[in-house]
A and B are shown apart, each in its own frame.
Chain A
Amino acid sequence: MTAAELAGRAVARAAPNGLALVTHERSLMLRFAAGRPTQATAIDDFTLDIAVPLEGHVGRASTNGVDDAAIADCAERARLAAEAAAVTGGGGFPGFAPHPGGPASQREPFEAATAELDPAAGAAALEAAFSVAAHHGVEAHGIWTVAEQEQAWALAGEEAQAERRTDAFMKVICIAPNGRSGYASSSSVAAADLDASALAERAALKATAGGEPAELPPGDYPVVFEADAVGWLCDLLAGCAFNGLAHAEGRGALDGKLGETVAAPAISLADSPGHPLTLPRSFDAEGTPKAPIPLIQDGVARGVAHDIRSAALAGDGARTTGHALAPGGDASGPHPTNLVLAGGGAADEAELCAPVERGVYVTRLWYANVVRPKETLITAVTRDGTFLIEDGRITRPLRDLRVTDSVLRILSGASALSGEQKLASDGEFYGRRFAFGVVCPAIRADAVRFTGASG
């Protein structure tokens, strides 16, 4: 049974205006720690969401059952929810609209070999990482994971639309006997793009970089962020600034600032679901076709992401931009999941370091959390490869630090970006798997606020 077939069966129960969204996940994840496998998880599961709009409200229910009884029960729960909601009045949801088709992606979202979910291929990747780590005298920790996701949506009277996608991710954290660690990761549509040996080599070299770790007192320092750290910053910014629901409610960081300069001229950030480096998606959870939207262009705030609900609330001609996370709108609002930060002119991270007299080199951020969203104020710690930059080059390891700063302030101080971009993903898969990442370069920021030590 395909996702499209199930969506077609389900939507018949949600007539006349309901929407059925089916997500079928088949995935495999192999975890490893200290050079040995620790856990392996294979999942085969469906999620059927039925959303029924009624008098401006949406009742929603889900099940992983695929038989007629389960579908009927799910539709009935959605209908009862919609009726209960309608009694309260005041709803503003305008209803689902058919949007068949969508723009062509610059990359196929599906790769057949990856969809085989071959445990032997994963085991070979683990063996390769273990071998490199052993050669460097460090421990290898991480995951290798692949998945196929088939997603389909249907409206009553319309032909179901479906998309098959694959994703693959591997990360390696190497830990040296002295406790220093290094990180490298790769994410793609195709498992063949993951080079376990190269990742382990990169992580091992960071873990074993020589010299006693230096310490920096709290204060402002110039920073070179690798792409993985930039990806974290951009995704945090998306939650604070590009959430159309928060924006419509006056809580968003770009409230009253569209058209104003909010970042350095070098910063151009868009949601580009068809970018060749991203994990392509052709429609959102409401069936709206995805299309590129500018968010910050040459440092100027240009737009926010909407789902049907947030666009209706925003009014003034706003339309959904195809960023719904759930039919009828997720409680937290819409979110751009294909962010692309345009690259700059620097050849690589070394060139970004060159003008820095004394600063910090950050491989990745960790445990980031938004402190005050309207200010885009976040806090996070550096992890797995933090180094001191002196006189234009990395000189020695640095004890990890805590960043507490505004993302827009950091991006306002972005003085250079690398030309090369990377799909930065942390490989987090909570709930029903939805792989995403941020395509971004490394950047140099002139002043970043550190509030303490870490680690």
Chain B
Amino acid sequence: MRDLLTELMDSARARAGYADARFVRSRVERLSTRNGRLDQLDSRESEGIGIRVRVRGAWGFAAVRGTDRAAAEAALARALAIAEAQPAVPDAAPLAPEPPARGEWSSGFERDPFEVPLEEKLSVLLAADAGLRTEPGVTLTRARFAAFGTDTLFANTEGALCEQHVTECGGGIGATAVKGDESQIRSFPASHGGHVAQAGYEHFLGLELPGHAPRVAAEAVALLSAPACPHGRTTLLLAGEQLGLQVHESVGHAVELDRVLGREASYAGTSFVAAGGIGSLRFGSERVNVTADATSATGLGSFRWDDEGVEGRPVPIIREGVLTGFLSSRETASEIGLDRSGGCMRADGFTRQPIVRMTNVNLEAGDAGSLDDLIASTDDGLLIETNRSWSIDNRRLHFQFEGEAAWEIRGGERGRLLRNPSYAGVTPEFWGSCDAVCSPSEWRLISLLDCGKGEPGQVMRVSHGSAPARFRDVEVGLA
């Protein structure tokens, strides 16, 4: 395969200003239970080659299944033909320079999740599912396992030739309780598929799903009779998945440089952030520090090289509330005069071309101690936990989120459970109201498994690190 990609790039060099090729082999295994029965046992494999070329400033990309040489050569010809057919872009910026990526890298794991017998995985899921069904009133229980394996070989016309192997694994549980027209759900450790990490089977076992199941089920039933989250303005505490999603939607996407430059206007949207905002745009309070870090251990946005061969590294995005950087590619970085790409090009398999994506966009820890300390220092407020629904406008400015559960905070103590909690805000005002972020001991990565972007659509798995944080004067109870 190395020889084939190298030869393809040799052929492309004569007709394209730039070209790259990726061979990708993907494996996915998903298991899930539903009300004590095995519901899904799915195994997916695919492999193929995606070739991207740039001719007179216009890009062409063609993907073909398999490893057949003739098919790969035809794909290169197709990519060239498509690029050549399009209107030329004579003023296209040159790609930001990058030394050719060479070498091999593998993510770490202790136990290969694909080698673990199905029966062993199922026994954990069934035990967790049984724990969820200990609570009368629960009508639907789910327990999930997922493993992803991705092997990538990358080459380009500038001499890059590098190989990466990534293994990801994790899972989660959920309980739904229904009574009349009321339906409530609780999930652990997160909704939308649970928590997946760049790790092996040991990560799935470490989630201890069976042990958490009875509490999760009890909370789902308790929510049915809990009072609804009232409408008003209050102090809001966010942690875990909900805070990670807040970072994802209102910071991560807002600082994608392709959006900032208008390249995603037809689908994902643009951004309220201007390309010239580095060093001047106040994104949040001085407590807010955000880094896009492609080297975070176990993060789903970690790699040695991105999908155009740029070495992954930490990129400061916000420092003391001020914008300091973007998520960028070689093309977009060059367009705004940056010396180097931020290394954020990622592709969803071999059939999609790389686009600007999040790595691990992390909210750095602060000094507010533990979550208990944060609650103790809050007179009146709301703690919202676990995402249920999210929506944000196409400039990443006005958002509205709903959580699975909330707890009142009164006099520094956690109080009543509330159902249907929601909150809304405007991105820079919301982050500007952040007056506390917990300490490093509380900092955790969460995973989001279904970040959609691009046309044709691409799904990306990303992680976000954060410690619980507090926001003042937030509108809650809208939905």
Contact = CB atoms under 8 A, between A and B. Distances in A.
Interface stretch (A85-93, A103-111, A186-194, A299-307): A85-93
Contacts of B478: 404, 451-452
Nearest to B395: A455
Interface string A173-185: 1010000010000
Interface stretch (A41-49, A221-229, A281-289, A388-396): A41-49
B66 A430 contact: no
B351 interface: yes
Interface string B130-148: 0000000001100000000
B38 A91 contact: yes
A430 B456 contact: yes
A13 interface: no
Contacts of A62: 42-46
B353 A41 contact: yes
A45 B352 CA distance: 12
Interface in B417-433: 420, 422, 424
B86 A375 contact: no
Contact-size category for B: 35 or more
A64 B459 contact: no
Interface residues of A, number: 94
B118 interface: yes
A150 interface: no
A250 B38 contact: no
Contacts of B47: 64-65
B41 A60 contact: yes
A368 B38 CA distance: 31
A419 to B, nearest CB: 30
B262 interface: yes
Contact of A64 (B66, B81, B392): B66
Interface string A356-391: 000000000011111111110101110100000000
A173 B393 contact: no
Given A90-B37, A142-B266, A251-B176, A366 B393 contact: yes
Contacts of A82: 41
Contact of A37 (B37, B43, B58, B456): B58
A64 B48 contact: yes
Interface of B: 30, 32, 36-48, 58-66, 75, 78-79, 81-83, 85-87, 89, 118-119, 122, 126, 139-140, 176, 178, 181-183, 262-267, 269, 351-353, 355, 388-395, 397-398, 400, 402, 420, 422, 424, 452, 455-459, 478-479
Given A33-B264, A139-B265, A372-B479, 18 more contacts: A31-B455, A37-B59, A40-B59, A43-B63, A45-B46, A61-B44, A61-B45, A62-B43, A64-B45, A64-B48, A65-B47, A65-B66, A84-B122, A141-B262, A143-B266, A367-B392, A452-B398, A455-B393
15 contacts: A33-B263, A33-B265, A34-B262, A45-B64, A45-B351, A61-B45, A65-B66, A119-B82, A175-B262, A251-B176, A366-B394, A375-B181, A404-B479, A452-B478, A455-B393
Interface of A: 27-34, 36-47, 57-66, 73-74, 77-78, 80-82, 84-85, 87-92, 119-120, 122-123, 126-127, 130, 139, 141-143, 145, 171, 173, 175, 181, 249-251, 331, 366-375, 377, 379-381, 383, 400, 402, 404, 427-431, 433, 451-455
